[in-house]
Structure formats: C-alpha cells, structure tokens
Amino acid sequence: MPLPPVPFRSSVMQIEPGWIDYNGHLNMAYYNVMMDRAIDEMWLQLGMGPAYMKARHGSSFTAECHVRYVREIHLGDPVQVTVYLLASDEKRIHTFEELRHATEGWISATSENMTLHIDMNARKVAPFPLDIQARVRDVVSSHAGLPRPEGIGRKVAMPSK
C-alpha cells in the first residue's frame, strides 16, 4: 500500500539560550543541530535509530551538507523541521530539510544533504539492509509526488556578471 505523499515533520523544538550569538539571533551552527535532531526522529521511523546501530551495527554519516540561512530566528521562536527524501540508492540517501517557524510557517533555513550508510564494524560505507532499503525507497516514492521545495540543487558561487 503506497504511503501518503506528505513530508516528515519533526516534533516542535525550542531554541536554547546558549545558542544565541552576539548578533542576537540563532548562531549558524545550531541550525544544523536542530535539523540533525529532526533527521534522527525520521531515522527512528525508518528503523535506523540507536537500536538499529546496536543490533545491526549500521548507522549513517553525513557526507555533504549545504545550508541556506533564509531568515533570522530568535530565542522564544518555536521551530519544526520538514524533511523530504529526494532520492536513494543502496548506500545513500539525498535529503532536503526546511527549518520553519512552527506557528507562523515561514522558512528560516534549508539544508540539503547526502547521507551514507555505514557498517560500524568496518567503519566503511556499506549497503543498507534490504528491509531498510525498501522502507527508504517507499518514502522516496511517496515524496516524489510532492511539489519540490525551492532551493534544491543550489550551489555556492559568485553571481556571473
């Protein structure tokens, strides 16, 4: 039975006071912390959390990440992360995350990532087990029916004149 075409939504998170920098807004490093926490929530739903690592000796490592900071977010702002699984193969998952103000809905930041499956015994890239591959493939299929978020595939470059 196909999954409904809806992105994953994390739990609502709060910005911690120590994450605010001298500019009075969330320091850039903590956008990654919140998006990583959201990915961990999604991995649990896919069967790839701490129990998976302990029992099956597999985990995931981020190989590449491109973060865009779109709008400032401040202490007291509730946030939620939307995750899209864009593509996958036997060893990789391509994701796109949007960090949003949880009540107003505007985007504060986005992150596009390539995640690798790791055999933790060998500490090398390895194929996902077939059951995990199937779950991920089902979500990728479901997300393929969604409108593509703005910002996918962006790169860092100076504008050409």
- pLDDT, mean of each 10-residue run, the chain (161 residues): 80 96 95 97 95 97 97 96 97 98 98 98 98 96 93 90 82
User: What local confidence, expressed as pLDDT, does residue 83 receive?
Assistant: 97
User: If you search the block for the tokens 């000796």, which residue do you land on?
Assistant: 57
Quickly count helices (H) and strands (E) in the chain.
3, 7
b/e map of 61-72 (b: 16 or more CB within 10 Å)? Answer: eeeeebbbebee
Q: For the full predicted model, state whether its pTM sits above 0.85.
A: yes
How far from 76 is each of 19, 26, 56, 68, 101, CA to CA, in Å? 12, 11, 39, 21, 10
Q: What gap in Å lies between CA 74 and CA 101, rounded to an integer?
A: 10
User: What local confidence, expressed as pLDDT, does residue 1 receive?
Assistant: 53
User: What local confidence, expressed as pLDDT, does residue 159 receive?
Assistant: 86
User: What local confidence, expressed as pLDDT, does residue 77 receive?
Assistant: 95
SS3 content of the chain, % helix, strand, coil (to 5): 25, 35, 40
The residues that bridge with 118 in the sheet, in sequence order, are: 59, 125
The residue type at 140: V
User: What local confidence, expressed as pLDDT, does residue 2 receive?
Assistant: 58
User: What local confidence, expressed as pLDDT, does residue 160 receive?
Assistant: 86
